[in-house]
Structure 1
Amino acid sequence: MADEDDAEALPVHGRMPGPLRDRLVRKGLRLTHLRLLAALEATGQMSAAAAMLAISQPAASRCAAELEEIAGAKLYERHARGISLTLYGRMMARRARAVFREIAEADGEIARLKAGLMGEVRVGAVTGAAVEFVLPAIKAARLTHPQVDFSVVVDTSDNLITALDAGRVDFFLGRIPPTHDHRYYFTRLAGDEPISLVVREGHPLIRRREIDLMACAECDWVMQPPGGLLRRSVEAYLAERMVPLPKVVLATASQFLTLLAITELDAIAPLSRSVVEFVRGEASLHGRVLALPVAGDLAVPPYAIAKLAGHALSPAAQMLFDDINGRF
């Protein structure tokens, strides 16, 4: 039985100790050696192998001799019909083929990365923009670029621009906060974001012959926490029309909880019109919600598609950026 010192020196899970892994490379192994060995296996002739490598036969013979010295084993045998590889030679030729396959795959990956056909794209968006622009663009891109991985962060503009500055997203659809210098960002406005006041089917307001903002203000509401852009826009809209602010408000930044609260409670929620249309659409979640026939001109300031100024996106990210930009 081997003692502990011997056991520690043994390879673990088939892996050689660190200093031995590149022994052949340090002894002078080059790709030319591996190409020659693969050619010898394929042709069985030194002259034919030399022709495949576009070198002279004497040069091929010297290369083969170098490889045997580097490997420290006899890799081939000469006979009347030409050359045959030994057990060691066949093993090394198999490894050589694997090396060249990996190199060819790396070449293909580089080409696909350059063409934007693979890679990772990280995009951020406010909810309305995610539904109206980001999801349709990713749906189209997945058909033409199936090897690209997409991730989407849906959040407030304040958090999204922090993510952009930190490199956690490639670009985002949202708003540049007034606390940030617009010169550091490339932006293109997408237009105002219309807002609908939404209730569940069967809400008491629906039974009224006429619905106005005063009646809405008397109901419970679900809105962003105080200070959120959507909440500020709604409160300013009501104040401009001399409508008192709702007294009972469930505050949440979660769109999912907002939709759930609408369907479970007699509450009103301001939502991006694109979100409402998605929820009510035939291809969506078949959500049982209705947009009230009031405040048809309610909107929040326009959002934009934004990236860091002077920063080059990866080909895959640029592909999605251009697609979304073209949808405005």
Structure 2
Amino acid sequence: MTASQLDWYLQINLKARQLRLLVALDDFGNLKQVADISHVTVPAVSKALSELEKGLGLQLFTRTHHGLQATAYGECLIRHARNMLVNLHHAREELRAISSGTEGKIHVGVFPAWTSALLPSALARLKERSPGTNVLVTEGTIHTLMPDLLQGKIDLLIGRLPPRHAHHEVDELELLEEPLALMTGPAHPLAQKKKMKWSDLRNYPWVLPPTGSQLRDPLERILERHGISLSNNYIETLSTHLIRSYLHMTNAVAMMAAAVAKDPIQPLKILPLTLPRLMRPAGVMWSRNRQLTPGAQLLVSCLKDVADKL
């Protein structure tokens, strides 16, 4: 490989279909599977890969007993190929939006606790200001959504901010200092208590954040500090809707953002026990390696307006 050969191929001859081939080979690691999803023959896929490696003068994959394995060259090019394909997808959507008279589409990721107040109000405000800006919302956890943010599959990520400097590639804006609270359904034996001791929580079932989630360790630490052992009677979920309904049906206790208790249809009771600040505020995050579209910038502005009023 010479530098001039590599420069020429990357700048003049590299095509979008070759980028898609690289990503597919990395995803499946198998020529036959890639051939099947591409509706071509295995020899055609093998030939396309050989031509790409020959043009670059680099070996991108090695064949192993477990299938194709990307080399260091392959890993580098695949990472950039994913970014380029995302950018092409965004460009296509923006061009379609311009040609159809709309103002683009925003892909938003959100943590479950923030689907009931902050985001809906911000979306309503966005639609008032720009009816032609459309939004695709995906609910998930930081573990499922942060990779999508870094890869450009979503534009904005909304929810409880992770520890500072946990993700150096991400910019953020703090929006809402929403305290956490312990809560139950309105018919719970503890719901009408004006004063409580931590020991009153013993022997009740729990709704816990899943192991490894942002809230699980802080909750366990504070209960431990007050001598509360979690029983074996619990469920694990981050679904606000499931937790709210479950608390109405059982004597379980859960920890969530205090705003969740104010739902007019299924209100919950906040227990009179003070929690220390366990987490950072809610906020919005975006990749610092990609410029926000005008629509995404407008949604950030709407989120800030709503958070200021909340």
Short-chain TM bin: 0.5 to 0.7
Alpha-carbon distance between aligned partners in 2 of 1:133 and 1:288, rounded to the nearest angstrom:
17
Match of 1:189 among 169, 174, 194: 174
Cα contact 1:118–1:148 (8 A) shared by 2 = yes
Q: TM-score, normalised by structure 2?
A: 0.60
Offset from partner CA, 1:115-145 (integer Å, 9 cap, x none):
xx62111111223334342211101111222
Counterpart of 1:171 in structure 2 is: 156
Q: C-alpha offsets along residues 140-165 of structure 1, whole Å, 9 cap, x if unaligned?
A: 11122222211222221222211212
| Matched AA of 2:255 | P
> Letter of the aligned partner of 2:248 in structure 1?
T
1:259 aligned onto 2:244: yes
Aligned pairs (5 A) from 1:214-233 = 214-233=199-218
Cα distance in 2, alignment partners of residues 216 and 169 from structure 1:
40
User: Does residue 1:323 correspond to 2:302, yes or no?
Assistant: yes
**Number of the residue aligned with 1:60:** none
Match of 1:48 in 2: none
1:204 aligns with 2:189: yes
Cα deviations by residue, 1:30-85 (Å, 9 ceiling, x for unpaired):
xxxxxxxxxxxxxxxxxxxxxxxxxxxxxxxxxxxxxxxxxxxxxxxxxxxxxxxx
Contact 1:128 1:193 in 2 (8 A): no
1:127 and 1:325, CA in 2 relative to 1: closer, same or farther beyond 3 A? same
Deviation at 1:307, TM superposition (A): 0.6
Q: Is the 8 A contact 1:224 1:252 kept in 2?
A: yes
Tell me the number of residue pairs that the alignment of Structure 1 and Structure 2 aligns. 214
Contact 1:128 1:274 (C-alpha < 8 Å) held by counterparts = no
State the 1:264 CA deviation. 1.0
Amino acid at match of 2:283: A
Give the secondary-structure state (helix, strand or coil) at the position aligned to 1:202: coil
Name the CA shift for 1:310/1:263 in 2 (closer, same or farther; >3 Å). same
Three-state SS of the structure 2 residue aligned to 1:131 is coil
Residue 292 of structure 1 pairs with residue 271 of structure 2: yes
Structure with the greater alpha carbon radius of gyration = 1
Identical columns (%): 22
1:312 lines up with 2:291 in the alignment: yes
Aligned to 1:110: 98
Paired AA for residue 214 in structure 2: L
Runs of 5+ consecutive residues of structure 2 not aligned to the other structure: 1-93
What is aligned with 1:101?
none
CA distance in 2, matches of 1:257, 1:108: 38
Per the alignment, in what secondary structure is the counterpart of residue 197 of structure 1? Answer: strand
3-state SS of 1:124 partner: strand
Match of 2:18 in 1: none
Shift of 1:248: 2.0
**Alpha carbons of 1:144 and 1:240: their partners in 2 closer, same or farther (altered >3 Å)?**
same
| SS of residue in 2 equivalent to 1:228 | coil
Specify which of 146, 149, 166 is matched with residue 161 of structure 1: 146
1:240/1:183 Cα in 2 relative to 1: closer, same or farther (>3 Å)? Answer: same
RMSD: 3.1
Measured at CA, do residues 181 and 296 of structure 1 come closer, stay the same or move farther in structure 2, by a change above 3 Å? closer
Q: Give how far 1:207 is off.
A: 5.5
Instruction: Report the secondary structure of 1:162's partner residue.
Output: helix
Q: Counterpart amino acid of 2:152?
A: G
Q: In structure 1, what is the equivalent of residue 198 of structure 2?
A: 213
TM-score norm. by structure 1 comes to 0.57
In the TM superposition, residue 107 of structure 1 has moved relative to its aligned partner by 11
SS in 1 for 2:227: coil
Q: 1:274 to 1:305 in 2, by over 3 A?
A: same
Pick from 104, 114, 117 the counterpart of residue 129 of structure 1.
114
Say which SS state the counterpart of residue 259 (structure 2) adopts: helix
Alpha-carbon spacing, 1:193–1:269, altered in 2? closer, same or farther (3 Å): same
